[in-house]
Amino acid sequence: MIETFRDLGRDMFLTGLVSSHTGTMSVRTNGMMTMSRRGAMLGRLAAEDLIEFDVDGDAPEDAPDDAIVHQAIYRGTDALAVIYARPPATMALALVEDRLSPANGEGAEMLGSAPVLISQRAITSSDVAQLVARTLRENRVAALRGQGVFARGADLKDALHMVSLLDEMCRVVQIFRTLSREEAQPAAREWHERQNSLSPYRDRSKSDGAPGRRPPTHTAPSRGTNVGPRRGDGAGPRQPTDPRNGGGRRPRGPHR
């Protein structure tokens, strides 16, 4: 059993379905379940990383938080294996979609569609456990918004197939949407440029070398023009003898 857990756990980590210390796996045998313990690295499982306890009993202290969900799935379905994963593509799409549906092909035949469950309660809640178990009676895989994906199967390979197939479909959807937006960008840019060139707010009655360009509202004063008080100055214009104009020196006269 440890070889099966280790091989599939490594596959889950290498394919990005879990990070270094996330995700759990379990199998049921004669009313007992064997499960990866809390904090185990699925990519590097060892024999001591597996724990065994009763499906209908209390989970041991070193059981992961989602152990209660695994137990509820076994009690409510005919599953012999359960996988909990956190694939980024699936979790991201589940934030904006209420149901994850492949267009066609193998995913459509095997998955049908994967529901997205929404709950404000923690994954350790019995309400969440019952919600996931009820959903997996009619579905082989389901996403819990913001928390991950649960899949059931006849064995761990079967459950992993469901998780992997769903994440592949979600990645394809995201890539397609990205490419679709990129193709629309040039047309949108041209439309905005055309609208700006035909803007009704531009004054075409003035021509300053660039048709359609709006003339400046304020013009700079010519040299020698008294422009009035500056920021921080007094109320009136400075006199030629003002000390701030160079120490009170009078302007030089014409050369003789």
DSSP sequence for 110-129: HTS-EEEE--SS-TT-HHHH
Specify the 3-state DSSP secondary structure of 15.
Answer: coil
CATH of the domain at 27: 3.40.225.10
The answer to the question of residue 154 being in a domain is: yes
The answer to the question of residue 105 being in a domain is: yes
How far, in Å, CA of 141 to CA of 9, rounded? 18
Distances (CA, A) of 86 to 27, 111, 178: 19, 18, 22
How far, in Å, CA of 170 to CA of 200, rounded? 45
The answer to the question of residue 215 being in a domain is: no
The answer to the question of residue 139 being in a domain is: yes
The answer to the question of residue 252 being in a domain is: no
Q: Determine the structural domain holding residue 140 and report its residue range.
A: 2-178
The number of C-alpha atoms within 13 Å of 149 and in the hemisphere containing its C-beta is 33
How far, in Å, CA of 193 to CA of 215, rounded? 20
Element of type H or E holding 185: helix 156-197
Residues 12, 42: contact at Cβ < 8 Å? yes
The answer to the question of residue 210 being in a domain is: no
Counting the structural domains of the chain, the total is 1
Residue-wise pLDDT tens for the chain (256 aa)?
A: 899 999 999 999 999 999 999 999 999 999 899 999 999 999 999 999 999 999 999 999 999 999 999 999 999 999 999 999 999 999 999 999 988 876 555 555 666 789 999 999 999 999 999 999 999 999 999 999 999 999 999 999 999 999 999 999 898 888 888 888 754 445 445 545 555 554 443 444 444 444 444 445 554 554 544 544 454 444 555 555 555 555 555 555 555 4
Give pLDDT, residue 180.
83
Give pLDDT, residue 179.
87
The answer to the question of residue 98 being in a domain is: yes
The answer to the question of residue 29 being in a domain is: yes
Give pLDDT, residue 181.
75
